[in-house]
Amino acid sequence: MIDELLDFNRSFVEQKGYEPYLTTKYPDKKIAIVTCMDTRLVELLLAALGLKNGDVKMIKNAGGVITHPFGSAMRSLMVAIYELGVEEIMIIGHTDCGAQHLNYEDMLEHMRERGISQDHLDMIEYCNVDLRTWLSGFDNGEDAVRRSVHLVKYHPLVPQEGITVRGFIINSVTGEVSEVKDCD
């Protein structure tokens, strides 16, 4: 599959298919969006918000949540704020999220089935990685958005002035975006 994508890419570049997507590294709308990596959102989220390439900084991960105050998603937001001029942050969860209800025990079993040894799992725990937390999902999408908004809004490295942080849920079928209330 990857080779097919690369074949397409060679043709794309030769035919200058990139030209409609030319933009700068700075988001035109000064917005960063943290959202889920769900395949249904790849085009739907942009279309539902009327966005085009270059409008926003998009940070995607499983569940669209900020799980650690000093993890890669938060680091990306720091770069967006301090280096790329972002002034507003949208945390956007979605309906029917695959990360919701993720089960730690099931994940470990899938890992073992794919050849990950108990020694490796023990080593990770020994290194103070709490696999139970790291591999678990969330029960309620709105609550997960609230927690992420709170973590970003009150992060010690996020300026308290000039940065707006709000939370939303997008319907993964219709694209309707609803604001999550009580995110403070």
* pLDDT recorded at residue 182: 86
pLDDT tens-digit profile, the chain (184 residues): 999 999 999 999 999 999 999 999 999 999 999 999 999 999 999 999 999 999 999 999 999 999 999 999 999 999 999 999 999 999 999 999 999 989 999 999 999 999 999 999 999 999 999 999 889 999 999 999 999 999 999 999 999 999 999 999 999 999 999 999 988 7
DSSP type of residue 32: E
Question: Which residues carry a binding-site annotation?
Answer: 36, 38, 94, 97
| Overall size of the chain counted in residues | 184
Distance (Å, whole) CA 18 – CA 35: 25
Binding site for Zn(2+): residue ranges?
36, 38, 94, 97
Give the domains, in start order, of the chain with CATH numbers.
23-102+137-179 (3.40.1050.10)
What is residue 169's predicted lDDT score, i.e. its pLDDT? 98
d(CA 66, CA 151): 7
Residue 66's pLDDT is what? 94
Residue 18, CA distances (Å) to 15, 22, 50 in order: 8, 7, 20
Residue 1: the pLDDT is 96
What is the structure's pLDDT at 101? 85
The residues, ordered by sequence, that sit 6+ positions from 86 with a Cβ below 8 Å of its Cβ are: 27, 30, 31, 32, 57, 77, 80, 163
